[in-house]
Amino acid sequence: MNEPTTREREDQADAWFHALADRTRRDILRRVLAGEHSVSTLARSYDMSFAAVQKHVAVLERSGLLTKRRQGREALASGDVEAVRSVGVMLTELEALWRGRISRMDELFASDTGTDTDTQTSTDTTTSTQKD
């Protein structure tokens, strides 16, 4: 098998991130990791249309975290345990943690320049007045 290029790896990471960034998709993934489910059974578990659930399943399938097979008229979905435990997916989950930290820092800096200086009478705007 050929080694994936950096570009292919990045595309894969993007697909995982997109797949895991949605609460419903994470929930679907948890269910199908526990065992095979038909898409219609999954659809009944959510307060949304069959088509909407089908769309979420398709995103997970494209990311490689979920596989589908047909049995008669039913589409059966199962989670790919190996893929979910792969280093790439784990780094993607870690990335989500970091994005959260970074956005909290961004908010902290934004609040510095805001108007939360109610108890501050000094006109010095260059130093932080935060105290423990």
Partner 1 sequence: MPVTDVQHDLDALTLTITADFAAPVERVWEVYADPRQLERVWGPPSHPATFVDHELAPGERTTYYLTTPEGDHYYAYWDIQTVDGPDGFTFRDGFALDETFTPNPEMPESQQAYSFVPTDGGTRATYVSSYATAEALQTVLAMGVVEGASSALNQIDDLLASRAA
Using CB under 8 A as the binding rule, whether residue 67 contacts partner 1 is answered as no
Judged by CB under 8 A, the stretch of 40-48, 50-58, 70-78, 98-106 that binds partner 1 is: 98-106
Q: Which amino acid is at 37?
A: H
Contacts of 80 (CB under 8 A, 6+ apart): 64, 65, 66, 67
Q: How far apart are CA 54 and CA 41, in angstroms?
A: 11
Q: Which is nearer to partner 1, 52 or 96 (CB)?
A: 96
Q: How far apart are CA 98 and CA 106, in angstroms?
A: 12
Of residues 112 through 131, those in contact with partner 1 by CB under 8 A are 112, 128, 130
Contact positions vs partner 1 (CB under 8 A)? 9-10, 13, 20, 23, 26, 29-30, 33-34, 65, 79, 81, 84-85, 87-106, 108-110, 112, 128, 130, 132
